[in-house]
A and B are shown apart, each in its own frame.
Chain A
Amino acid sequence: MSYVFDFPAVFEHTDALLAGTGRTLALTAIGAVIGIALGIVGAVCRAWRLAPFDRLFAVYVELIRNTPFLVQLFFIFFGLPAIGVQMNEWQAAILAVIINLGAYSTEIIRAGIEATPKGQIEAAQSLALNRLQTFRHVVLPPALLKVWPALCSQVVIVMLGTSVCSQIAAEELTFAANFIQSRNFRAFETYFIVTAIYFLLAIGIRQLMMQIGRRLIARRP
């Protein structure tokens, strides 16, 4: 093997790598917050059988969980303009991430809500809490706590999945990698560095979300 490694050739494009990393993180953050919120709404509708929303969410969940993310993204970006819905690559990417995470987190959070013991809800009712109060104080926090590790994993999966947004020219981290590679042909060096960045991002996001779970939901210091 006579390949000479040239990592400085990649570091010439540090700006592009940093910008790409920032955009990947921003896309993930927006997608995670709105996606999980959507998931909570969906989970409640499904767990408590709030007609007709429970049926609507059931269809939505099945539709999204049984189709590839890339195809969903292409449909939004290339397909919807045909019926007059024009979105730029970032709007399309954010929408796709929200829709995708919303469907998965609906199912994850629903499992947590359905695992709430009946006795707890009856106890809340006997304390004269109304339905919303019961949900806010008695049902949601323990439900989220139970499924929080699964939810963290799903957010990490979505973050890694945002790499396909490079296909619609959204200039996130994978786009930066492909761009750099198309200019210096240093495939090994470029993808090695970008792989390392994704790895660190994934570890970091997981740690951050576990912290959020501990502080905000379990309210432990």
Chain B
Amino acid sequence: MQKRTFLKAVLATAVFSAGFSGLAHADVLANVQKAGVLRVAVPQDFPPFGTVGPDLKPRGYDIDVANLIGRELGVKVELIPVSSTNRIPYLTTGKADLVISSLGKNPDREKVIDFSIAYAPFFNGVFGPADSTVKGAADTAGKTLGVTRGSVEDLEFTKIAPPTVNIKRYEDNNATISAYLSGQVQLIATGNVVAAAVNERTKIRRLDTKFLIKNSPCYVGVNKGEAALLAKVNEVIAKLKKNGDLNQVSQRWLQAPLPADL
């Protein structure tokens, strides 16, 4: 109960202050180009999107994207570490020009801020070895699939699972991953970030994406009424997708190529 009231309060504050900040700086893009500095809110506690490196500087997928956008705009990037609860207020109160913080889109958030085109994949899916030909839920028939009991991917996959797939439900992510690595199951359903972490740490048995269960990619958050900035960010992201820079970021942090339909 308390949490909900708190969230509502945060949201209300965000909506309220959005009205003011819209007035405060009418054209953020012009201001950024004049000052030569782009202030970006990035995560510091959410690997691989944003963590603090051994040199105590932020690093991760989102930080790389922030720097790439800064490069394309020809300005310096000032990184502002934020948490998942205050990343939108930082934007709406004018403390940041952009939020690049593994931000997913939903109707409530769309009332408060605008979203760019997607820049990072974030999804639950079914993963398996490269030589597996599974391409959809129907192909899992007769196969053994591991999943963490009670997780979103468990509930979602159970809905679409063919009757003959043998679902093994494990206690936690670790057991699910161990079951896959030791060959006890042929496929697992999990998040792409989890799969990336596994692929980074072990080469025993690779996890390749077979199909998506639930997709919620990440977008750059921009204040309402900043059409020029939004258009510029979209243009830059589209360019980074085309020239392969974003794919490199994906390979570096997610150990997987950027999905073609992102």
Contacts and interface: CB of A to CB of B under 8 A. Distances in A.
A77 B170 contact: no
Contacts of B170: 167-169
A24 B235 CA distance: 61
A79 B178 CA distance: 9
A168 B175 contact: yes
Interface stretch (B8-16, B19-27, B179-187): B179-187
B179 A78 contact: yes
A163 to B, nearest CB: 12
A218 to B, nearest CB: 43
B171 interface: yes
A27 B12 CA distance: 57
Interface stretch (A46-54, A80-88, A139-147, A204-212): A80-88
A179 interface: yes
Interface in B163-184: 168-171, 175, 178-179, 182-184
A82 B182 contact: yes
Contacts of A81: 182-184
B184 A77 contact: yes
B169 A179 contact: yes
A168 B168 CA distance: 8
Contacts of B175: 167-169
A168 B184 CA distance: 10
Nearest to A88: B184
Interface in A73-101: 77-79, 81-82, 86, 88-89
Chain A interface residue count: which class? 10 to 19
B149 interface: yes
A168 B171 CA distance: 8
A169 B168 contact: yes
B44 to A, nearest CB: 32
Contacts of A167: 170-171, 175
B169 A78 contact: no
B154 to A, nearest CB: 8
Nearest to B150: A182
B198 to A, nearest CB: 15
A166 interface: yes
Contact of A77 (B146, B149, B150, B182): B182
Contacts of A179: 149, 169
20 contacts: A77-B184, A78-B178, A78-B179, A78-B182, A78-B184, A79-B182, A81-B183, A86-B183, A86-B184, A89-B168, A167-B170, A168-B175, A168-B179, A168-B184, A169-B169, A169-B170, A169-B175, A169-B179, A179-B149, A179-B169
Given A167-B171, A179-B149, 20 more contacts: A77-B182, A78-B178, A78-B184, A79-B182, A81-B183, A82-B182, A88-B184, A89-B168, A166-B171, A167-B170, A167-B175, A168-B179, A168-B184, A169-B146, A169-B169, A169-B175, A175-B169, A178-B149, A179-B169, A182-B169
Interface of B: 146, 149-150, 154, 168-171, 175, 178-179, 182-184
Q: Which 8 A-B pairs have the closest CB atoms?
A: A182-B150, A169-B168, A81-B182, A78-B178, A78-B182, A81-B183, A182-B149, A167-B171
